[in-house]
Amino acid sequence: MRTEPQYNTLTVVSLGPGAPDYILPAALTAIGEAEVVACGKRHLESFDASGKEVHIIGSGGGKLTEVMAAVKAVYPYKKTALVVSGDCGFYSLLSYARRVVGAEHVQAIPGVSSLTYLFAKIGRPWQDAALISLHGRDQDLIGRVKRHGTVGVLTDDTHNTAYIAGALKANELGGKILYVGEDLSYPEERITRLTTEEGLTFSERGMSVVIVTDE
């Protein structure tokens, strides 16, 4: 029979785009207090995990379902942080964590999302923009562009900049401008402004986010 203290709370911690300067102090405090941390491998570059029980999600670690099963087993007895990129409330693992351990056992710490970061870097407001994810999802990109004019998009290897540009051109929206953000907040950050035509042949270095807008 376990005799450890009962915490009954899993903390989902938003890491922001990745660089330490953009991690909220509250997030660093939660990670620092955690005895167990579940996160992606690259997240470990952003904070000190020494002395903690670490569960890696994905590349270099286990499947998400396996890691979350381990988290579910341990969080009542050890302070546990599930660390995610960007803001946990925007197409991240917060919804999944709530399903796995129960909404009443989850608390969340917000962060800077990659899209809001990119809007700030190009000096544009986002209060009237639509924000969507094409990362493993099928959403109405063209409908959102027609309704809102400006759309921020999370991409994947298939639904990338060239795909977005092709969809725009095919729907007579070839006058749009695309801003592509790669490795945001890291030293190798690259932000590229493209016409729709230029976007048709653009190749990302890896994962990116895209803002579709006007001049």
- Looking up residue 160, the CATH number of its domain turns out to be 3.30.950.10
Domain shared by 204 and 132, yes or no:
yes
Residue 123 and residue 86 share a domain: no
The pLDDT score that the predictor gives to residue 1 is: 47
Residue 35 resides in a domain:
yes
| Domain boundary residue, one of 77, 109, 141 | 109
Domain boundary among 109, 138, 153: 109
- Count of CB atoms situated within 10 Å of the CB of 112: 21
Helix (H, G, I), strand (E, B) or coil at 28: helix
- In this structure, are 172 and 98 located in the same domain? no
Q: What's the total number of domains in the chain?
A: 2
**What is the pTM (predicted TM-score) of this model?**
0.88
Q: Based on the fold, state whether residues 103 and 156 are members of the same structural domain.
A: no
- For 132-165, the DSSP string reads EE-SS----HHHHHHHHS-EEEE--SSSSHHHHH
* Cα gap 173→187, rounded to integer Å: 33
Domain with 60, as residue range(s), is 10-109
Using CA atoms, how far apart are residues 163 and 151, in angstroms rounded to an integer? 15
Please identify, among 82, 109, 136, the residue that sits at the C-terminal boundary of a domain: 109
Q: How far apart are CA 151 and CA 104, in angstroms?
A: 33
Residue 4 lies in a domain: no
What is the C-alpha separation between 95 and 168, in angstroms, rounded? 31
In a shared domain, residues 37 and 101: yes
d(CA 176, CA 96): 35
**Cβ-Cβ contacts under 8 Å for 9 (sequence gap 6 or more):** 75, 105, 106, 107
DSSP state for residue 62 in the 8-state scheme: B
CATH classification at residue 59: 3.40.1010.10
Please check whether residues 18 and 103 belong to one and the same domain.
yes
> Does 92 lie in the same domain as 174?
no
134 shares a domain with 194:
yes
- Give a yes or no: residue 43 inside a domain: yes
Angle, nearest 10°, between helix axes 161-170 and 141-148? 70
Query: Do residues 78 and 125 both lie within one domain?
Result: no
**Residue 209 Ramachandran class (φ > 0 left, ψ -120 to 50 alpha, else beta):** beta
- What distance separates the 2 farthest-apart alpha carbons in the chain? 66
**Same domain, yes or no: 91 and 61:** yes
CB 24 within 8 A of CB 31: no
- Starting at the edge strand found earlier in the chain, the sheet holding 36-40 runs 53-57, 36-40, 80-84, 10-14, 106-109
Ranges of residues in the chain with a pLDDT under 70 are 1-7
Has residue 190 been placed in a domain? Answer: yes
Average pLDDT taken over every residue of the chain: 93
Asked if residue 188 is part of any domain, the answer here is: yes
Inter-helix orientation angle 64-74/94-101, to 10°: 50
Specify whether 55 is located in the same domain as 90. yes
Task: Report the pLDDT value the prediction gives residue 205, as an integer from 0 to 100.
Answer: 85
Same domain, residue pair 154 and 195:
yes
Residue 5 lies in a domain: no
